Every structure is written in structure tokens, then in C-alpha cells.
Amino acid sequence: MDYLGEVITLGIDSVIFGICLKQYLHCKNAIKAIKDAEFHEIGPQLGDLVDKSPDNKLSYIAIRGIVKPLGKPLTSINNKKLTGVVQKLKIKEHVVARTTAGFWSDQERTVHKVYNTVPFALYGQGHSVEILEPLSADILDLDMVSNTFEPTVPSFADHLWGFFTGVRQRGLQSTEELLREGAVITGIGELSRTKSKMLTLQPPLNGTPFYLTSMSIGSLFRKLDDRKRTYRLLCIMFGVIGIVIGGVVFRRYWKDRTEQRLAEELRQSLAASRKERRQRVRDTELREDQLCIVCRTNPREIILLPCGHVCLCEDCSVNITSDCPVCRAPISQKAAAYII
């Protein structure tokens, strides 16, 4: 295919543009939703608000309270004094890899990632709201409890292996993050009351993002606004790249088409002038058996091979390419026949 490179580039560009556009719209909708959401400290008024609202739920609300587990909390692996309700353990491998250009570059990949959670609630003024599905949150702020890096001491065999495979391990980084018991966080989501009369905050059903963050509403707003701006810039950038590539492809296609059209016109005019020249030199006084069997006007001028029949004029032979019209033998070659 002539435009394979350009089409692949355009395809990749469109995919990136699509992702950026989706993220941009997501941020835009989230900012709008947060702007419209009411903010409440947890207290006795929350229950009344839910009971007064239609369907006994508030579809998007921001609340702030203190994290407390509803049972036994999780204990940090690296610091036994710390307890929490959401724990994220991650192991990353750091490697030095040889790129296709021949340079060595630092790279990292996640080898292992695990989340542990226990049921928890946000407390305030003697009231509580249970948090459901915390891992579905768009932003879930956790505190870094430990971050250790263990360098690998390579043996001779490792060096040799690294030389041939182009990948050398530098070490393993283990991190532990925790949503700590007693932390003050803001939860933004759907507030409703369960059958057991407990208030719950969960991801909204309409797809609006769910947040559990240590940031204030203002900071969250600014963070999302920054994200929105970044994605808008990326959208513009990849959009422009797409338009430029599209323009280049279209220009090349148009140029090729024009060239093809001109070549075809030239070929046709040459064929027409040859036909005219032939017509001028042709013998007009011919016997019936000397006439082309198709047009019955021009002399027989072409020999068909391998059968050897001389039955067509040059004009008619252009359109007959597969079988000989006399014996139906397949035509492998045509040549001018000179009958003296």
C-alpha cells in the first residue's frame, strides 16, 4: 500500500487524540459536577437532608470527616504503630535496558500491586457515613508509609545475560501506602441510606467521578482544572498533527491521481494517433478473406500465438486478450504479421 506509513501514523495519532479528548471531557464534566455539588461537614443535618430528598438519596454531595474503621483496622507492614483502612502494596522493578538506538536507558515496571481494604466510615459530630467501594474512586489519596529500594548485586552470569538480552536489573523498589485511621478526608459521591438506616457514600450511578481525597474542594478543583488544561493542550497538539498528516496524505493522493490521469490521457492520445496513422497506410481494396473477422473493415494485421491464426486487425486485437476468436486457444503472445 502506498500510504501505509502515513495511515498507521494517522491511526496512532487518532487513538491518542481520542484518549486525550475523552480525558478532557471527563475533567470538564467532573469540574461542572463538583461546582454544583453541595458541601457538608458530617453531622446530624446530613440524615435530614437525605430523608427530605427524592428517592432518599443525594446524587452528588461533598462531605468531610475523620476516617475510622468499622471493625479491625489494617496494620502497616513496615510500621506496626500505624493503622489504616486502605493499603496499597507495590513492587517495581528498575532495569537498565538497551533501546533500539543502542543507548541504555532507565526503565521501571510494576511487578506486583495489591490493595487491601477493610470497611470504614467518615465520622463527625457523633455521626458517621460508611464509604462503599473506595477502590472505584477516581482520586484516592493515600499516605506513603514506606519506600525502600534494594539494589541488585549482579553476578558475572547476570552481566553476561544482561549483555545478550539488553536488560540489566538495577533493583527492586517496594512501596506501602495507607489511608490512615484518623485522617481527615473529603468524599464526593452519592449519599443514600441503607435498609439498616446507615448513611453511605458510594460511586454515583450516573458515572460522575467518585473522590476520596485529603485535598480541600478548592485544591481538587484546581488539580482537575490543571488536568483539563493539559488534556486540552494535548488535544490541540494531536489534532493539529492529525490534520497535517491528513493534509499530506490527501496532497499525495491528489498528486498521484492527477499524474495517473495525465499519463492515461497521453496514452490515449498516442493510441489514437497510431490508429489514425495505420488507417492512412491501410490497403482499402481487400478480398473478403483478407478482412479482420471482428470489424470486417480493416486488414488482418496480428498473429496470435501459439495457435498462429492471423485473423484480427490491430485495433480489434487490443480488446481481445484471452482466447483466439477462431480456435478458442488461449493467447500467450501477439505479434505483427506481415503478409507480402
Name the residue with cell 439498616. 196
Contacting Zn ion (CB under 5 A), which of 295, 305, 318, 335?
A: 295
Bridge pairing between strands 310-312 and 302-305? antiparallel
Q: Is 173 helix (H, G, I), strand (E, B) or coil?
A: strand
| 327 binds Zn ion, rule: CB under 5 A | yes
Which one of the spans 21-29, 42-50, 68-76, 305-313 is the region binding Zn ion (CB under 5 A)? Answer: 305-313
Cell of 336: 505483427
Helix axes 217-281, 4-36, angle to 10 degrees: 150
Closest approach of Zn ion to the CB of residue 312, in Å: 6
Closest approach of Zn ion to the CB of residue 250, in Å: 43
Contacting Zn ion (CB under 5 A), which of 34, 58, 324, 331?
A: 324
Contacting Zn ion (CB under 5 A), which of 7, 244, 326, 335?
A: 326
Which one of the spans 181-189, 211-219, 245-253, 316-324 is the region binding Zn ion (CB under 5 A)? Answer: 316-324
What residues numbered 141-160 form the site for Zn ion, per CB under 5 A? none
Alpha helix ranges (H) inside the chain: 4-36, 44-52, 156-165, 217-281, 314-317
| 318 binds Zn ion, rule: CB under 5 A | no
| Positive/negative CA dihedral, 296, 300, 303, 307 | positive
Closest approach of Zn ion to the CB of residue 307, in Å: 3
Contact 108, 175 (CB under 8 A): no
Cell of 33: 459536577
Main-chain dihedrals φ then ψ at residue 179, nearest 5 degrees: -90, 105
Contacting Zn ion (CB under 5 A), which of 292, 302, 303, 331?
A: 292
| 335 binds Zn ion, rule: CB under 5 A | no
Q: How far apart are CA 135 and CA 212, in angstroms?
A: 9
Closest approach of Zn ion to the CB of residue 330, in Å: 10
Contact 203, 176 (CB under 8 A): no
Which one of the spans 57-65, 185-193, 195-203, 320-328 is the region binding Zn ion (CB under 5 A)? Answer: 320-328
Q: How far apart are CA 278 and CA 246, in angstroms?
A: 48
| 294 binds Zn ion, rule: CB under 5 A | yes
What residues numbered 30-59 form the site for Zn ion, per CB under 5 A? none
Residue with smaller CB distance to Zn ion, 172 or 329: 329
Residue with smaller CB distance to Zn ion, 186 or 298: 298
Alpha helix ranges (H) inside 39-115: 44-52
Residue with smaller CB distance to Zn ion, 94 or 300: 300
Note the residues at the interface with Zn ion (CB under 5 A).
Answer: 292, 294-295, 298, 307, 309, 313, 316, 324, 326-327, 329
